[in-house]
């Protein structure tokens, strides 16, 4: 049985593309039911059109308040009726109502080894802190900022001449492998959450 997944993205959408590619290559028992974006100018929309994935735009700037935006987003997510929502460069925190509506059904990828460097500019934080190793983390989304149960992580060495951009580029390469892998595990029913731990069966 194929799972229905929906992707939320705000920008470039290279992780979204990695998910589309994995589905098209037959690596993942899933169909991509929708791209949902808060940004009508997101390049992810072009990728969706090319892959014939339906696009839903919930334009953040056209809502008078964050609450009303979140309400519209929640309603769109309910209509899509996905087994899994994949945040792929979705640049807002998902509100509590949405998290509570889809427990253990929302995943995120973050470009650092959480719990180090949550929030924005994780690669810059890593370079400024002087860590020798960083990477990426796929996790389930809870109400905290980048703090939900960790599914997979990949390590990337920080080189002595790295700046934010060079580190981000190397991490991104790993993201494109790690995220489809985590989604595949979900689709195969192999992820079990026990407290803060995610067991892979
Ligand atoms: C990625 O680095 C991801 O980890 C972070 O935002 C970036 C999105 O890139 N959350 P893209 O839009 O998938 O190319």
pLDDT per position as a tens digit, 166-190: 999 999 999 999 999 999 999 999 9
Report how far residue 30's alpha carbon sits from residue 108's, in angstroms, rounded to the nearest whole number: 17
Encoding tokens for residue 166?
A: 């060079």
The pLDDT of 39-62, averaged and rounded, is 98
Among 107, 90, 88, 104, residue whose Cα is nearest residue 182: 107
- Binding site membership of 111 for ligand 1 (Cβ less than 6 Å): yes
Residue 1 pLDDT class (50, 70, 90 cuts): confident
Average pLDDT, whole number, for the chain? 98
pLDDT score of 201: 95
Is the CB of residue 48 less than 8 Å from the CB of residue 33?
no
The pLDDT of 23-46, averaged and rounded, is 97
Cα(3) to centroid(ligand 1), Å: 23
* Given the residues 110, 129, 174, 176, the one annotated as active site: 110
pLDDT score of 178: 98
Cα(197) to centroid(ligand 1), Å: 24
- Binding site membership of 109 for ligand 1 (Cβ less than 6 Å): yes
Among 46, 183, 165, residue whose Cα is nearest residue 111: 165
Tell me the whole-structure pTM to 2 decimals.
0.97
Cα(101) to centroid(ligand 1), Å: 24
Residues 120, 110, 3, 16, CA torsion sign: positive
pLDDT score of 162: 98
The pLDDT of 94-107, averaged and rounded, is 97
Is the CB of residue 10 less than 8 Å from the CB of residue 39?
yes
Question: Catalytic: 176?
Answer: no
Encoding tokens for residue 23?
A: 């589905």
Encoding tokens for residue 170?
A: 């190397």
Query: Which residue of 17, 46, 111 sits with most ligand 1 atoms within 8 Å of its CB, as the best mutation to test the pocket?
Result: 111
The pLDDT of 149-161, averaged and rounded, is 98
Residue 147 clears pLDDT 90, i.e. is over it: yes
The pLDDT of 129-142, averaged and rounded, is 98
């Amino acid at each position: 049985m194929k799972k229905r997944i929906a992707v939320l993205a705000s920008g470039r959408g290279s992780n979204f593309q990695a998910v589309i590619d994995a589905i098209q290559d037959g690596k993942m028992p899933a169909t991509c039911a929708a791209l949902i974006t808060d940004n009508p100018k997101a390049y992810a929309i072009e990728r969706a059109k090319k892959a014939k994935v339906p696009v839903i735009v919930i334009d953040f700037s056209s809502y008078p308040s964050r609450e009303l935006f979140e309400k519209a987003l929640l309603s769109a997510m309910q209509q899509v009726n996905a087994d899994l929502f994949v945040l792929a460069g979705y640049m807002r925190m998902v509100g509590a109502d949405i998290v509570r509506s889809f427990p253990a059904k929302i995943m995120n990828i973050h470009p650092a080894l959480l719990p180090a460097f949550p929030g924005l500019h994780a690669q810059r934080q890593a370079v400024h802190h002087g860590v020798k190793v960083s990477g990426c983390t796929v996790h389930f989304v809870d109400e905290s900022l980048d703090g939900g149960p960790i599914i997979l992580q990949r390590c990337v060495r920080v080189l002595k001449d790295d700046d934010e951009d060079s580190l981000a580029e190397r991490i991104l390469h790993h993201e494109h492998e790690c995220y489809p892998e985590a989604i595949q595990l979900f689709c195969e029913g192999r992820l079990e959450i026990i407290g803060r731990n995610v067991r892979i069966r």
